[in-house]
Structure 1
Amino acid sequence: MRRAHLEKLQLCDALERIADTLPRVDCLACLAAANAIVPLLRNIHQYEETVIFPAYEAALTSSDANLASTRRLRAEHVEDECFAGEVTEILLAIGHGEKVDNAEAVGFMLRGFFESLRRHIAFEREHVLPMIGVVD
């Protein structure tokens, strides 16, 4: 999980650098981020849903058996992957030379995406991983 979180946070940092420099763009940085987003999220989400979340649910005692947390995290995975597709599309267009007509809107989109990823990671670090004995 440490590696997965590190990779997601590195992606967030790359997206933040892109957002911070708009309307100026580094085409290669946009293309690199665009090519990484969807496969990275899919792989990490699959691991979390097949390994981490079942271990977390098994670790819950009857008094904390609130599976709403994992349901919410799974729903966030779906939302993140949908949003990732939109972010990828924009970054590919910019990376291939399309002009950024509304830098504020693109920056807002990127920030909305990477901030939601960071919140997801923070929740997992604070609540899920300690329950299964993983130190991140």
Structure 2
Amino acid sequence: MQSEGGDLNKETQHGPTRSWTSAAFSRQTGTEAIHPGEVMKLAHREKLELCFSLESIADALPNVDRLKCLGTAKKIVPLLRDIHGFEERVIFPAYEAHLTPAEAKLASTSRLRIEHLEDQCFAGEVAETLLAIGHGDPIESAEAVGFMLRGFFEGLRRHIAFEREHVLPRIVISDEGPDA
């Protein structure tokens, strides 16, 4: 269920939804045995919430909610940095351990790591733009800002789709649908 601010750590009809950070922390500290794939699925949910937030901002241009721009700008870089770090430290080694020698030559994780760097650089630009809008700067070209936001969140969605189709199944986690 999509929330206005994109915070998935709210009550739902099925009880509280866990954030990926609390699951990752529980796993890291050993307070709970959580499969890394489950943590990754939670991270995907939060990245998709970010995409929905960015899409709603793009759709509203030039008449955007400035507070939503500020809130989104504030979380975009740390969210991606932390999720990408977890994927590179925990998920990718688990994935690589399950590849055949022929599959390992495809260098999928190398490409994903490069995409992480590109996404984080692009996230910084998006955050800077959203901060400026949030602080009241005029939107010089709503079309250009819209293209920027759409280019960013569509790239994130493609990255998530690849991980769901190729990485998660290899680390023995089933993906339970588009909202998983």
Which interval holds the TM-score relative to the shorter structure? over 0.9
Moved more, 46-55 or 56-65: 56-65
Return 5+ residue gaps in structure 2 as ranges: 1-39, 176-180
Return 5+ residue gaps in structure 1 as ranges: none
Q: How many residues align?
A: 136
The reply on whether 1:107 has 2:146 as its aligned counterpart is yes
The reply on whether 1:119 has 2:124 as its aligned counterpart is no
Inter-partner Cα distance in structure 1 for 2:56 and 2:112:
26
- Which deviations, in whole Å up to 9, do the C-alpha atoms of 1:55-95 show, x marking residues without a partner? 01011122322351100000000000000000000000000
Aligned to 1:25: 64
SS in 2 for 1:23: coil
8 Å contact from structure 1 (residues 19, 111) kept in 2: yes
Q: Which of the pair is proportionally richer in helix?
A: 1
RMSD across aligned positions (CA): 0.9
SS in 1 for 2:172: coil
TM-score (norm 1): 0.97
Q: State the one-letter code of the partner of 1:43.
A: D
Aligned to 2:170: 131
**CA separation of 1:47 and 1:67: change in aligned 2, threshold 3 A:** farther
1:2 Cα deviation after fit: 1.2
Say which structure, 1 or 2, has more relative contact order (CA 8 Å, 6+ apart): 1
8 Å contact from structure 1 (residues 57, 67) kept in 2: no
- Aligned match for 1:90, one of 126, 129, 132: 129
